[in-house]
Amino acid sequence: MKEKIMIRYGELSTKGKNKKDFINTLGRNIKQQLEDYPQVTIQREYDFMFINLNGAPLEEVEMRLGNVFGIQSYSLAYEMPRDYSALMTNATKLVEKELEKNPSIKSFKVATSRSDHDYDYDTNTINRDLGGQLAESFPNLQVKMKQPDLTVRVKVRKQDFLLSFDWIQGIGGLPVGTSQNAVLMLSGGIDSPVAGYLAMKRGIRLTAIHFASPPYTSPQALEKAKALTEKLTYFGGWINFVEIPFTETQEAIKEHVPAAYLMTITRRMMMRIADQLRQQYNGLAIVNGESIGQVASQTLESMYAINAVTSTPIIRPLVTMDKLDIIAIAESINTFDLSIQPFEDCCTVFAPPSPKTKPRLDDIAYYEERLDINGLVDRAVANIKVEKIYPNSKNKVQTEDFADLL
């Protein structure tokens, strides 16, 4: 008997080549997620993908699949020879295992389908025989046709029987890599990692870019941003982390721009640099963690003024979300505890007491005249440091390490 996981794809509204890309990328991402189990193989059949466990631990594999975007649902499946009496004993064993895993199962039914219509027994007979056998083996289980706790599905195929259980909900979304590239503006806060996660969920491959202003910002703040990046890698494999030296720009702004416009112009500089890097990394969009009205830089007036430096699409997955909903996602992807570690961000260090919430483009232009915009952008971009961050990275920074440094 071969133990498998049967996978149902997510949205497959696309056809032809796109569908092929979707499936190939999903297969690659699953393979990568399971790379420490080289015995696992993947095979495609019609509209399903099968993962052959070949002895890999089911629970661990299931857990990892929970992080792969593009999996709509999956079910445990077992391939067995077309031997009617073996079907009865195999099914009994498998149901017993299911009951051990989930003692709340109180009812069941058998649902048979045939892709080989020449088989000796028809579906009703198989349902009746196997249902009877299971009812006898598990007297506490009730047979229930409508909404049973467990459905035992049998598919009679030309070469074998395939037995499977109920569909389990997957994470959904599109496989990472099917929607082109973007840069993620990743601070150390709560929002941007969540924004990154949601962008990845729509198939976008990210490069994380982080503005650091040493010595005003600490090495720990930088490590925290890398640790957050690592959390994101669990959902799509390695991510390039780009550290952008931002001190010179921030000092220049501080020197030449009045306090009220400091924030707006700083953000515009970040956006200009982000756009250069976007181009360098073959991205088609910039992703950030802004949400309307959350802080002064996120009023619509501010967004408009900051956005005006580029026509590149800026994707703001959190734009209409409430903070509590954002926090719930941060907790579910395990970034929240890291994000709330108190390290100063480049923006908070230089934050004026009362930033303009309604900046004017003509005033901005006037103050930006005082800056060597292109020079600042070019030097920042020329001096980036890039690190490829992997899941489970050896030198990963743990939450506890931060506590020690406080």
> Which residues of this chain interact with ligand ATP, rule CB under 6 A?
185-187, 189-192, 210-211, 288-290, 294-295, 297, 345-347
Residue 177 or 189 having the CB closest to ligand ATP = 189
Residue 25 or 213 having the CB closest to ligand ATP = 213
Counting contacts by CB under 5 A, is residue 187 touching Mg ion? yes
* Residue 263 labeled ligand binder: no
* Residue 177 labeled ligand binder: no
Counting contacts by CB under 5 A, is residue 291 touching Mg ion? no
Minimum Å distance from CB 379 to ligand ATP?
A: 17
Angle at 129 between CA 141 and CA 90, to 5 degrees: 75
* Residue 298 labeled ligand binder: yes
Minimum Å distance from CB 177 to ligand ATP?
A: 22
Structure tokens at 330: 């941060």
Phi, psi of 194 (to 5 degrees): -65, -40
Q: Which of the listed partners (ligand ATP, Mg ion, none) does 79 bind, with a CB threshold of 5 to 8 Å by partner kind?
A: none
Minimum Å distance from CB 104 to Mg ion?
A: 43
Structure tokens at 329: 């996602």
Exposed/middle/buried for residue 160 (C-beta within 10 Å: 0-12, 13-18, 19+) = middle
Angle at 247 between CA 404 and CA 211, to 5 degrees: 65
Minimum Å distance from CB 246 to ligand ATP?
A: 7
Residue 148 or 359 having the CB closest to ligand ATP = 359
Residue 189 or 236 having the CB closest to ligand ATP = 189
Other beta carbons within 10 Å of 189: 20
Q: Which of 27, 177, 189, 391 binds Mg ion (CB under 5 A)?
A: 189
Q: Which of the listed partners (ligand ATP, Mg ion, none) does 268 bind, with a CB threshold of 5 to 8 Å by partner kind?
A: none
* Residue 360 labeled ligand binder: no
Structure tokens at 379: 């030097």
Minimum Å distance from CB 371 to Mg ion?
A: 23
Q: Which of the listed partners (ligand ATP, Mg ion, none) does 95 bind, with a CB threshold of 5 to 8 Å by partner kind?
A: none
* Residue 211 labeled ligand binder: yes
Residue 109 or 210 having the CB closest to Mg ion = 210
Minimum Å distance from CB 189 to ligand ATP?
A: 2
Binding residues for ATP: 185-186, 210-211, 267, 289, 298
Site residues, Mg ion (CB under 5 A): 187, 189, 345
Binding residues: 185-186, 210-211, 267, 289, 298
